[in-house]
Amino acid sequence: MNALRRHRALTRIWASAPGWKGWFTSVNHTDLGRMFLTVAVFFFLVGGILAMLIRAQLATPRSAFMGPETYNQVFTMHGTIMMFLFAIPFFEGLAVYLLPKLLGTRDLAFPRLTAYGFWCYVFGGSMMIFALLAGIAPDSGWFMYPPLSSTIGAPGINSDFWLIGITFVEISAISAAVEITVTILRYRAPGMSLAKMPIFAWYALVTAVMILTGFPPLILGSILLELERAFGMPFFQVAQGGDALLWQHLFWMFGHPEVYIIFLPAAGAISTILPVMARTTLMGYGWVVAAAVSLAVLSFGLWVHHMFTTGIPHMGLAFFSAASTLVAVPTAVQIFAWIGTLWRGRPGLHLPMMWLLAFFATFVIGGLTGVMVAVVPFDWQAHDTYFIVAHLHYVLIGGFVFPMLAALYYWMPHFVGRKTYFKLGGVAFWLIVPGFHGTFLLLHWAGLLGMRRRIDSYGPGQGWEIINLIASVSGFVMAIGFALVLIDVIINAVTAIRGSRDPWRAGTLEWAMPTPPAAYNFASLPHVDSRDPLYADRELPVRLARGEGYLGDPARGRRETLTVDIATGAPRTIVVFPGNTALPVLMSAVTGLFFLGMLVKDYWLVPISALGVIGCALAWVWSLGRRAPEGPLDAGRGAVLPVASEVADPPGWWGSLFLLLADGTFLGSLLFGYAFLWTIAPNWPPPAYAEPGPAALALVLAGAALTAVGGRLGALAGVAAALAGTVAVGLAALAVLAQVPDPAAHAYDATVWVLVGYALLHQVVALIMMALVAARRWAGHSAVTRRGAARVARLWSDYAALVALLAAAAVGLPGVLA
């Protein structure tokens, strides 16, 4: 088969449906990556317009441009959109588009999950935009501190839009994180060991794991605050045993890692682009990987530095001040590695390189002001002033937007397959960078002169007028620059002439394919022996197009790729991907109904849509795998490999493992919150602790054991055991809840209800999974094709059993100790 025939055959197999139908049924990562990026840019424009409204309001003292109610919505939505609807989804879009190409594979691990996450993002984001247009947008700040965001401070539906809309959008982040993690660990080109992985993949892996462990505290906080607002469960009400500071802990356990979740992908792009621009390789690859991992983990130990002014004891302040200064070390390691790379190479001043230089200048300033606010006495002075606003914009725009502009111009020839000309982009650069510094450098001074954050207007004579006027004019200059970037991208995408395959002469695999990329990425999968495969073998793209790699023969007529061993990159299995389907968009729409029911308080819609989601999920899983085993298949280059659905650790098992990491973090956050209230909150102990008693504890023990054993039995006996386990745990739950019948009475009672609900939910999930495994047996699936699914069900049943035991211990312990 020649290259052209192979291309046509593979395109028939992998392409999305033509026309508008393709938008809703595509599960292809290239299409979905582009869609993600386009929607994220749309939200960036909306957030940018809101920023301009803020600057228009603050340009002069006593401005009447907006009233305080409108201003509160505008600045809240600016922060919310930029953080949740632009920065994170832009990374997801870039990773969705790039990762399989960088890793030398044909798609992400779970193509339908990519589509589901995308549509959850679109629907959740639309919910927020609707609120903005309707004038009922959140108005309590993007951090939503209670009691400002409680029913006392925000009685309308505004805060509910934030709590429910953002939780909906976070499904997208968790989905993307699971599949980025599994893809990087298992879906690489054969031979690509961890040490030969492109540096962007390391950053993406670290970021994805951070999303899995950083987002659950916020999801928990949002659920608890919504439960308080909707049902009066007083988690944050001091009078009833709650504490508003609990929200700050949960929020910043997410919020500080979030800064690094935003920065690290940008650092990954820098580490990829900079060596190409400098015509060399990255200096200190191992050190850079270590710095990325260090930054990721250290960032989870910094959350209290956002709370230095809340009355925390000195030793607590010292812990987090020390940790905050520590984080400068790995950041500096990266900066020096990049400077060393530039020093070693011969940098060319192309537009991506200019954006990287802008990043250096800006981010270093942001990092240094970060060290200043890590020092407690300084933070006490600068906290809640425009100094902090200036600092965070230096970090986020300097550390994310500028590198992403470098990435945009670097990969644009790949996105559109055209030779780019950057004249307009150069003009935009000279508007954005000085405009940015004109806006935010001066705002440091405004903060030091005492200008508070979030104020909607200010009086004259405080020395802030000229600063704010210059900041506003500069802000508009920056906005014109961003508009030029958009026009530049559109012009390039539409009118530029066809470009060459590898315009930058880079070494990574995304340039080993024709651009714009075909739906299948690689006509055959490469065997990788080097960190920069194209530097090692310039003929590689031609040989891959000729079908000389793995899976070069499309004769089986289905979407296939390979999984590899995590460490060594040795090929392990052949994965068969699903085809185009509308199931993800349908399932995300039904998920949207679930959230909509909660938002508008039509609670009848919630269980119905929950059943709908379960139905969609079952239809989703049911179509996986074949009834009869296929046995080992030819994978090309002499490799004969089993199909992934017939081995003990299929991709779904890995996906479940990492989803459980997020789930476990959620439970850990809940237990932390419980312990926090127990030790710190005023108005404890509650009037009475629940005391489960020996009978209820015996029921929990028996229930957990039956659930765990059920996961090992399989088929009918397993389902019966899990059902009995669920009933036992359910009876114990009823006995406990009878002792605390009113979840609105005290924060303790409310926490017990949430713990019990969480345990029961996982019992039901495990039961459904085991029932599905049994149903597959009845439907004629062989023992071999059921093996992977059974192990997935066992993973969830073990977790459900563990949760039941932990919840019982957490509920019963305070009563025992008292």
Partner 1 sequence: MSTILRLSLPLTLWLASFSAVYGLHGLLCSSRWTGPDGRWPLIAAALLALALQGALLALIATRRWPEPEPTLHRTSLILAVAAFVGTGWTLMPVAFVSHCL
Q: How far apart are CA 141 and CA 369, in angstroms?
A: 23
CB of 387 to partner 1, least distance (A): 25
Name the phi and psi angles at 457, rounded to 5.
Answer: -160, 170
CB of 733 to partner 1, least distance (A): 27
CB of 208 to partner 1, least distance (A): 13
Q: 288 vs 544, which CB is nearer to partner 1?
A: 288
Q: 313 vs 741, which CB is nearer to partner 1?
A: 313
Q: How far apart are CA 204 and CA 296, in angstroms?
A: 11
CB of 303 to partner 1, least distance (A): 10
Q: 287 vs 360, which CB is nearer to partner 1?
A: 287
Q: How many residues does the chain have?
A: 818
Q: What is the dihedral of CA 117, 123, 128, 133, to 10 degrees?
A: 150
Q: How far apart are CA 6 and CA 555, in angstroms?
A: 10
CB of 181 to partner 1, least distance (A): 10
CB count, 10 Å around CB of 575? 23
CB of 207 to partner 1, least distance (A): 14
Q: 341 vs 763, which CB is nearer to partner 1?
A: 341
* CA proximity to 165, closest of 90, 93, 47, 85: 85
Which DSSP letter does residue 144 get? T
Q: 688 vs 705, which CB is nearer to partner 1?
A: 688
Please give the residue ranges that form the binding site for partner 1 (CB under 8 A): 185, 193-195, 285-287, 289-290, 293-294, 297-298, 300-301, 304, 313-316, 318-319, 322-323, 326, 329-330, 566-567, 675-676, 678-680, 684
CB of 184 to partner 1, least distance (A): 11
Q: Is 507 exposed, middle or buried (0-12, 13-18, 19+ CB in 10 A)?
A: buried
CB of 816 to partner 1, least distance (A): 15
CB of 329 to partner 1, least distance (A): 8
Token pair of 806 as six digits? 């932990």
| SS3 (DSSP) at 781 | coil
* DSSP states along 351-369: HHHHHHHHHHHHHHHHHHH
CB of 313 to partner 1, least distance (A): 6
CB of 416 to partner 1, least distance (A): 35
Q: 123 vs 254, which CB is nearer to partner 1?
A: 254
CB of 285 to partner 1, least distance (A): 7
Token pair of 754 as six digits? 């949430």
Measured in whole angstroms, how far is the alpha carbon of residue 612 from the centre of its chain? Answer: 25
Q: 326 vs 477, which CB is nearer to partner 1?
A: 326
Question: Using alpha carbons only, how large is the chain's radius of gyration in Å?
Answer: 27
Give 328-333 contacts, CB < 8 A, sequence gap 24+.
328/367, 328/370, 328/371, 329/294, 330/290, 330/291, 330/292, 330/294, 330/295, 330/298, 331/291, 331/295, 331/367, 333/284, 333/287, 333/288, 333/290, 333/291
CB of 456 to partner 1, least distance (A): 37
Q: 595 vs 654, which CB is nearer to partner 1?
A: 654
Q: How far apart are CA 323 and CA 733, in angstroms?
A: 41
Chain position carrying tokens 């919630």: 606
Strand bridging mode 571-576 / 633-636: unpaired
Q: How far apart are CA 329 and CA 324, in angstroms?
A: 10
Q: 511 vs 678, which CB is nearer to partner 1?
A: 678
CB of 225 to partner 1, least distance (A): 22
CB count, 10 Å around CB of 669? 22
CB of 300 to partner 1, least distance (A): 5
Q: 106 vs 249, which CB is nearer to partner 1?
A: 249
Helix axes 605-622, 583-599, angle to 10 degrees: 160
Q: 493 vs 657, which CB is nearer to partner 1?
A: 657
* CA proximity to 111, closest of 625, 796, 524, 583: 583
Q: b/e per residue, 146-181, with b = 16+ CB within 10 A?
A: bebbbbeebeebbbbbbbbbbbbbbbbbbbbbbbbb
Q: How far apart are CA 7 and CA 545, in angstroms?
A: 8
Q: 583 vs 806, which CB is nearer to partner 1?
A: 806
CB of 185 to partner 1, least distance (A): 8
Cβ neighbours of residue 126 under 8 Å, at least 6 residues apart? none
CB of 206 to partner 1, least distance (A): 10
H/E stretch holding 306 reads none
Q: 762 vs 794, which CB is nearer to partner 1?
A: 794
Helix axes 783-817, 651-679, angle to 10 degrees: 10
Q: 239 vs 361, which CB is nearer to partner 1?
A: 239
Q: 331 vs 580, which CB is nearer to partner 1?
A: 331
Q: 567 vs 608, which CB is nearer to partner 1?
A: 567
Q: Contact 373/304 with Cβ under 8 angstroms? A: no
Question: Up-side HSE of residue 191: CA atoms within 13 Å toward CB?
Answer: 14
Q: 323 vs 784, which CB is nearer to partner 1?
A: 323
